[in-house]
Structure 1
Amino acid sequence: MSLKPGNIVEGKVVNITKFGAFVEVEGKIGLLHISEISNSYVKDVSEYLKENDIVKVKIVSIGEDGKISLSIKQANLEEQKKSCKPEEVDWNSKKRKTNSIDFEDTLSKFLKESEEKFKDLKNYKNLKNGTYAKKKNR
């Protein structure tokens, strides 16, 4: 298989640095940058990779100077896309969940509770203003 951007290949980790790892792919060495190792934050590359590990990587780019950029993160994403099947949905089905609360019932309950809370708030405010006004008049 020739090395082309977009291909997913297996490679062997040959060296680990602070900024990533060097991976041998089909006889050539490419850089796997620290930001392309995992979807989560990677503080230390050696927590994720060891020398001589075999990893699946995606060839992100090959520069004019021959430098190869690699990504485990993108390779995993491509694999997930291939293995993920959409769920079958029957849009014509008119079944409803029997234990779900009807929207109108939920809305009327919300309105009733809101009115009660608003009345309580208004009464509290009137009470507070009334006592404040009495103290002010004294």
Structure 2
Amino acid sequence: MAIEVGAKLEGKVTGITHFGAFVDLSGGVTGLVHISEIADNYVKDVKDHLKIDDVVKVKVINVDKDGKIGLSIKQAIDRPEGHQPSAPPRERFGGSGGGAGGGDRFPRGGGDRGGRPFKSGAGKPSFGKPSFEDKMSRFLKDSEERISSLKKNTESKRGGRGAKRV
């Protein structure tokens, strides 16, 4: 029996790894269900959803030249026409989204990467996107500030700058 892309088959889970599960189809042919194709929601551990010897319905999503078969459990589920799975919104960097705007666009404090609001440099009016030069000068300024702050902190911990050692 030839395995064709789009075919829905039943198979038996024969192996579980951290990246997915191997499913034995008919005639000793084995395919892989990647962890991202197991369920509509986020799958942290495959073992929370599947066990060895489980019989699952899978859809063949690709067949490589070298014989590797890609399978999907979530695509094998028959859904009503036009129905999209409702996935919960993802949070960036885990946690509560942190900072001023909660789960805002910026993960730490409602500004650019340093938690400070972005300011366009060189006194130019900002009409939407800042220019590359503005971004670069801002980056260099922030980088220099962070490095000097880091140096101050590490020198004081090491006993540098005239601190007395015991």
Give the shorter-chain TM-score range: 0.5 to 0.7
Distance in 2 of aligned mates of 1:74 and 1:10 = 13
Higher relative contact order (CA 8 A, sep 6+): 1
Q: For 1:45 and 1:31, how far apart are their aligned partners in 2?
A: 12
> 1:70 & 1:81 partners in 2: Cα distance?
21
Counterpart for residue 131 of structure 2: none
Aligned to 2:76, what secondary structure does the other structure show? helix
Deviation by residue 1:31-81 (Cα, 9 ceiling, x = unmatched): 1000000000000000000000000000001100000000001111xx124
Per-residue CA deviation, residues 77-108 of structure 1 (Å, 9 max, x unaligned), is xx1247x9xxxxxxxxxxxxxxxxxxxxxxxx
Q: TM-score, normalised by structure 2?
A: 0.47
Structure with the larger strand share: 1
Q: Which secondary structure does the structure 2 equivalent of 1:80 belong to? A: coil
- Counterpart CA distance in 2 for 1:54 and 1:36 is 16
- Unmatched segments (≥5 aa) in structure 2: 84-166
Corresponding position of 2:12 = 12
Structure 1: 5+ residue stretches without partners: 85-138
Q: Give me the CA root mean square deviation.
A: 1.5
Q: Give the fraction of aligned pairs with identical amino acids, expressed as a percent.
A: 53
Matched, 1:28 2:38: no
Correspondence list, 1:103-122, <5 A: none
1: CA distance, partners of 2:80 / 2:29: 27
Aligned residues between the structures: 81
Q: 2 CA distance for matches of 1:35 and 1:21?
A: 11
Higher Cα Rg: structure 1 or 2? 1
Q: Which residue of 1 aligns with 2:91?
A: none
Answer 1 or 2: which has greater helix percent.
1
Q: TM-score, normalised by structure 1?
A: 0.56
